Amino acid sequence: MTIKRDTYEDDDSSSSNKRVKVENGSNGVKKEENPYLAHWNDESGSKNEPSNSADLLYSFKRHGTTAKQAHDAEDGPLNPFTGKSLSSNYMSILKKRRDLPVHQQRDDFLSLYQSSQILVFVGETGSGKTTQIPQFVLFDDLPHLNNKMVACTQPRRVAAMSVAQRVAEEMDVNLGEEVGYSIRFEDKTGPNTMLKYMTDGMLLREAMHDNNLSRYSTIILDEAHERTLATDILMGLLKEVVLRRKDLKLIIMSATLDATKFQRYFHDAPLLAVPGRTHAVEIFYTPEPERDYVEASLRTVLQIHATEKEGDILLFLTGEEEIEDTCRKLTMEAQELLRDGAAGPLQVYPLYGTLPPAQQQKIFNPAPPPATPGGPPGRKCIISTNIAETSLTIDGIVYVVDPGFSKQKVYNPRIRVESLLVSPISKASAQQRAGRAGRTRPGKCFRLYTEAAFKKELIEQTYPEVLRSNLASTVLELKKLGVEDLVHFDLMDPPAPETLMRALEELNYLACLDDEGDLTTLGRLASEFPLDPALAVMLITSPEFYCSNEILSLTALLSVPQIFVRPANNRKAADEMKELFAHPDGDHLTMLNVYHAFKGAEAQANPKQWCHDHFLSFRALQQADNVRLQLKRIMEREELELMSTPFENKKYYENIRRALVAGFFMQVAKRDGTGKTYTTVKDEQSVLLHPSTVLAQDSEWVVYNEFVLTTKNYIRTVTGVKAEWLLDIAPVYYDLDEFKKGDVKTALQRTAMKIKRTNEMKAGRR
């Protein structure tokens, strides 16, 4: 039920550098106090004067340059953007860049870019569009000479970070200076940034504070074919912004050829297509369906390694746990092959969204050399989620192993359950995956499913995310963006009315929207936090329960990957360690205990080792620390009080549990008479507590963080609560006249009667 989404981070706006004010679109927020608009508060001199003799760009005519002019500027000897001498590394990269297919059409691109406001650009994966097109734009748009920036959005955090790193190298500048990136809870940009790679959710967040996105002169929506929720909303917004701002240029980049749909949507914009550099790819299918795709993947990779000519392998799997597990097994098996002399060395690298940037960069390392001179060649194997389908291009891949699955978000508005399910991919995705093998030379793609399954069972295109998501956060964002008529907001694929109604109903119960559907004060405040609305409301109301410090920590912990590590070969020891932190009232309080221990003196002496010894994820806890800091800044800015109940007070944990109810009262389940199963309130789904829970008390009522659909329905991250809290904290949602007859209603009626009797007795004593 929780959605992790990429949205804008709060940034400390105490920059000493100041720029010229542009235009007010801040929705009533004072510009001086608004961290998203820090770039407007600058008076330290305009950037319109040449700073060095190398600055050829001052002689360029904006939107009137040619490929040759840019070519000459790129040749140096001084960097046209910084005036420093160009490095030898820059020159060798430049040579490779000019071999990319997009460079052949630089003049065509420039003439279309200069003559139109919106341009649809189709380039197959590997054509160089993500790294090169923004640079082509910089030389023609000259944003830094006009106090503007170029934004290039990516659907994934990993892509935004690694592409920004690559482009900074290509431009011979430091990452975070002229080229930067901005993802949720991490901003690596500076006052000199002219090209900013960012997740689509971050740009959406900026649009809330500046409806016209006035700090940008060109916006590039990359990987638009992925049709993420944020990309779809951005397209709807930008379609209107370009009508208001004639000086804003918009480029929509896609890797697939269904671009005519984008053209029609964007007022019949012109189209430029660049072919990729693809060699022939031989495709193999399995004669029979595979029972276990992970096992089959492992077997196939080892077989390729032992029998095929040199060339790297790319294996697609579905999630972090599966990938890490397979990496371990594969490394062990490959070492055995190496010892037997049956194959060369194999270096295995994982790739998924939550991997730290330094580890992501390892996938670009060269393959290991043969173990002995003249022996079998070494190769690398990258095990990735579908991020390597189109977002990242890795040279040297010759063999692709495609089991045909990926994790996809699925939402059922009737029971309000959103879950990540491992689902079959679409034909378009299968083609993209196969194409990865033909980048450097003819390759092979091993599909671990039958040809009949490919032809008959796979859908043509993946359904856009907007059709399979809970839209509560989206509706809140649109309301903050000033979109009143949600039904007629021009989305490329409008969602089902039922999904929209559910989102409005949910926000109304959370008191973020009033009965007329307008934003309330609480709703306006909730939209300032890059969080799911229920989490934001829990955080905002926590001072009423005297525990905002603890709820702040808990919100950060719920916004990062799982903090408990449970390795397959050491589950018993991991479970015993978890017991040390366990709180009998449930998982939320257990996570809080972990965080408090992590911040203690003993753990901080050597945090990495401490986490390893206690089977905790150091990376996730570090991330939680960072998220907590960012959210704390927003709380301080919005003047939300940070406080705690004294630990000795017996209400310490009770207050935290009550605060949980304030945000998650719609995610409550009641135990059935049998004692094992629970029934969710209102949606009436029969569920079990997830095996990972530490809830020790036999709690009749529990609040849960997420609904997990596997072979059975589970609720995960649960904490015991009391029925009287539900009636007291969320009387509108728990209006008993609205409930169907049944166990839940009867139990709540009993509680209501008990509360009434208690109140009458108290009144009688007076």
Please give the domain boundaries of the chain with CATH numbers for all domains: 54-274 (3.40.50.300), 281-465 (3.40.50.300), 471-655 (1.20.120.1080), 665-764 (no CATH)
Please spell the DSSP secondary structure of 372-421, one letter per residue.
Answer: STTSSPPEEEEEE-THHHHT---TTEEEEEE-SEEEEEEEETTTTEEEEE
Least confident of 283-287, 401-405, 629-633, 670-674: 670-674
Higher-pLDDT residue of 595, 15: 595
DSSP code, position 611:
H
450 against 389, higher pLDDT: 450
Enter the pTM of the model.
Answer: 0.79
If you average pLDDT over residues 382-406, what whole number do you get? 87
The confidence band for 4, taking pLDDT boundaries of 50, 70 and 90, is very low
pLDDT at residue 257, as a whole number? 58
Q: How far apart are the first and last CA of the chain?
A: 46
Least confident of 51-60, 83-92, 720-729: 51-60
Q: Average the pLDDT over 81-93 and give the result.
A: 90
Q: Is pLDDT above 50 for 18?
A: no
What is the pLDDT, as a whole number, of residue 452? 93
Question: Mapped to the 3 state alphabet, what secondary structure does 208-231 carry?
Answer: HHCCCCCCEEEEEECCHHHCCHHH
Q: List phi, psi (to 5°) of 356.
A: -65, 150
| Res. 155: pLDDT tops 50 | yes
**What angle, rounded to 10 degrees, do the helices at 200-209 and 472-480 form?**
40
Name the least confident of 179-193, 224-238, 261-275, 382-396.
Answer: 382-396
* pLDDT over threshold 70, residue 5: no
- pLDDT in the model for residue 599: 94
Query: Tell me, what's the pLDDT at 41?
Result: 52
pLDDT of residue 11: 41
Tell me: the pLDDT tens digits for 692-712?
899 877 789 999 998 887 778
- Which pLDDT value is given to residue 128? 86
> Once rounded to an integer, what is the mean pLDDT over residues 505-513?
94
- Phi and psi at residue 189, to the nearest 5°: -135, 165
**Average pLDDT of every residue of the chain:** 87
At 1, the pLDDT band (50, 70, 90 cuts) reads very low
pLDDT of residue 47: 41
DSSP 497-558: HHHHHHHHHHHHHTTSB-TTS-B-HHHHHHTTSSS-HHHHHHHHHGGGGT-HHHHHHHHHHH
Tell me: the pLDDT tens digits for 338-382?
888 878 899 999 998 777 777 888 888 999 988 888 888 899 999
Whether the predicted pLDDT of 197 surpasses 50: yes
Give residue 582's pLDDT.
93
Residues, the chain, total? 766
Class of residue 243 by CB neighbours under 10 A (exposed 0-12, middle 13-18, buried 19+): exposed
**pLDDT number for residue 38:** 54
Amino acid at 732: V
Question: Would the pLDDT of 13 be above 60?
Answer: no
Model pLDDT, residue 31? 53
Q: Mean pLDDT over residues 226-234, rounded?
A: 90
Can you give the pLDDT at residue 484?
84
Burial 432-453 (b: 16+ CB within 10 A, else e): bbbbbbbbbeebbbbbbbbeee
Read off the tokens for 25: 């679109």
Give me the pLDDT at residue 226, please. Answer: 85
Q: Which of 48-57, 96-105, 242-251 has the lowest mean pLDDT?
A: 48-57
Band of residue 30 on the pLDDT scale cut at 50, 70, 90: low
Q: Where is average pLDDT lowest: 113-122, 391-400, 682-691, 719-728?
A: 391-400
Give the confidence band of 321 by pLDDT, cuts at 50, 70, 90: confident
Cβ-Cβ contacts under 8 Å for 166 (sequence gap 6 or more): 131
In this prediction, residues 500-508 reach a mean pLDDT of 93
- Top pLDDT among 135 and 682 is at 135
Decide if pLDDT at 165 tops 90. Answer: yes
Tell me: the pLDDT tens digits for 458-478? 998 888 888 888 899 999 999
Share of the chain above pLDDT 70, in %: 92
Quick one: pLDDT at residue 184?
84
> What is the mean predicted confidence (pLDDT) over 229-248?
92
pLDDT confidence of 53, banded at 50, 70, 90? very low
Among 166, 196, 191, 194, which residue's Cα sits nearest to residue 181?
196
Give residue 25's pLDDT band: very low, low, confident or very high (50, 70, 90): very low
How many helices (H) and strands (E) are present in the chain, helices listed first? 28, 21
* pLDDT score of 3 more than 50: no
Tell me the mean pLDDT in the region 161-170: 93
Which two structure tokens, joined as six digits, stand for 277? 């550099």
- Answer yes or no: is pLDDT of 389 > 70: yes
The residue among 412 and 265 whose pLDDT is bigger is 265
